[in-house]
Structures are given as structure tokens and as C-alpha cells.
């Protein structure tokens, strides 16, 4: 890999760790949020044979426009990581001004229209989330709520299929493990 790409990946990792420094995952173990980002970036890296630095960087940054306290905006991402990365992150970012149910509905609706990279990232993100629910579920989640999350994630991923058989098989495997 070219040295410039290595530098960009490490900068993205550092940026993500800073942006999410005060956040923990919802799971019972309360893992640091960065664990989610390294898992998703590892998945997209494996899915693309380590050849797509842009996607790895976008995966590390995929939640910075959403749920964190450091007020990162789109322009900041363009300035630091370029338009290609910023656009992928924007594609997978929910409009947080909308109610949660509406955001979830829109993810299903938008999925088929995402770019190829954003689809791979979306599938990796959902696979990581299923894994978290299996390994370290939020303490207040009922079986019903877990089932609903799995069913919703499957619907979002259905709209992303056809881009990368490997990541789809990882997702399907985890989906199959969720027999609550």
C-alpha cells in the first residue's frame, strides 16, 4: 500500500478515536465506541482484500456525522479526508433531525440507491451490530426487540445486496446466529 494511503488510514483512526472519545456502545459490556469502528473497517478491508483505502477510511469515520459530541460536519470531513470519503460517510448517515422510526424506514428505502462502496459499508455496519447484539446485548433489550432489530437489519441489507458476496455471507451467518 502506498505510504500516503497508510497515513490517511492512521489519521482517520486517530480522528475517529477523538470524535467518539466520550462514547460507549449500548451493549451490556459498554465497550468503547471505537471498537465498533475498528470492527467495521476490518470487515470492509477483508471484503475488498485490503485494496480499497477510501472505503477503509470511510468505515472508520462512518458514524462521526451522527451520534457523537464533537460536532464534526461534512466540510470538516472534506477538508481532512477529501470529497470521496466525505460523500460515502454522508451516504450512510441518518438525518438525526427525524424521529427514529422515520430514520429506520428511510434506511430501507435508501439502501438500493446507495453507491457500491456505501452498500458494502452498510452491510458491514449491520453485521457488526448483529454481532454486538449476540455477544453483548443492551441490558434493557427484550427478546422481541432483538428480533425486531434483526428483521429490520435484514431488510436494509436486502437493498444492498449484489455488491460483495463475502460481506453478504458474513452478515447472513450472523443473522442465522440470532435465534432468540
Using the minimum distance from each CB to Zn ion, give the nearer residue, 3 or 38: 38
Cα–Cα distance, 172 to 126 (Å, whole number): 10
Stretch that binds Zn ion, among 59-67, 98-106, 148-156, 165-173 (CB under 5 A): 59-67
User: How near is the Cβ of 94 to Zn ion at its closest, in Å?
Assistant: 10
Q: Considering the complex, what minimum distance in angstroms separates the CB of residue 80 from Zn ion? A: 19
Q: Residue 62 Cβ, how far from Zn ion at the closest point, in Å?
A: 6
Separation between Cα atoms, residue 53 and residue 135, nearest integer Å: 29
Q: Closer CB to Zn ion, residue 63 or residue 168?
A: 63
Judged on CB neighbours under 10 Å (0-12, 13-18, 19+), 52 is middle
The candidate with the shortest Cα–Cα distance to 80, out of 66, 95, 94, 60, is 60
Residues with active-site annotation: 66-67
Residue 168 contacts Zn ion per CB under 5 A: no
Positions 60 through 99 that interact with Zn ion (CB under 5 A): 63
Among 9, 12, 124, 125, binds Zn ion (CB under 5 A): 125
- Residue 60 CB, shortest distance to Zn ion, in Å, is 11
Q: Minimal CB distance to Zn ion: which residue?
A: 125
Contact 25, 33 (CB under 8 A): yes
Number of residues that bind Zn ion (CB under 5 A): 2
CA dist 154 and 2 (Å) reads: 36
Alpha helices of 61-164 — where are they, by DSSP H? Answer: 74-91, 100-110, 116-135, 143-158
| 39 is a site residue for Zn ion (CB under 5 A) | no
**Contact set with Zn ion (CB under 5 A):** 63, 125
Amino acid at each position: 500500500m502506498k505510504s500516503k494511503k497508510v497515513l490517511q488510514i492512521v489519521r482517520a483512526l486517530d480522528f475517529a478515536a477523538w470524535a467518539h472519545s466520550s462514547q460507549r456502545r449500548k451493549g451490556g459490556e459498554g465497550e468503547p465506541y471505537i471498537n465498533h469502528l475498528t470492527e467495521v473497517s476490518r470487515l470492509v478491508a477483508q471484503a475488498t482484500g485490503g485494496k480499497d483505502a477510501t472505503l477503509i477510511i470511510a468505515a472508520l469515520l462512518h458514524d462521526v456525522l451522527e451520534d457523537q459530541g464533537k460536532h464534526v460536519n461534512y466540510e470538516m470531513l472534506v477538508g481532512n479526508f477529501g470529497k470521496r470519503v466525505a460523500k460515502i460517510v454522508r451516504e450512510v448517515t441518518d438525518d438525526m433531525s427525524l424521529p427514529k422510526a422515520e430514520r429506520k424506514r428511510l434506511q430501507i428505502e435508501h439502501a438500493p440507491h446507495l453507491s457500491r462502496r456505501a452498500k458494502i459499508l452498510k452491510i458491514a455496519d449491520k453485521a457488526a451490530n448483529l454481532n454486538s447484539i449476540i455477544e453483548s446485548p443492551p441490558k434493557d433489550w427484550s427478546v422481541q426487540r432483538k428480533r425486531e432489530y434483526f428483521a429490520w437489519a435484514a431488510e436494509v441489507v436486502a437493498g444492498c445486496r449484489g455488491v460483495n458476496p463475502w460481506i453478504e455471507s458474513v452478515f447472513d451467518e450472523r443473522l442465522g446466529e440470532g435465534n432468540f
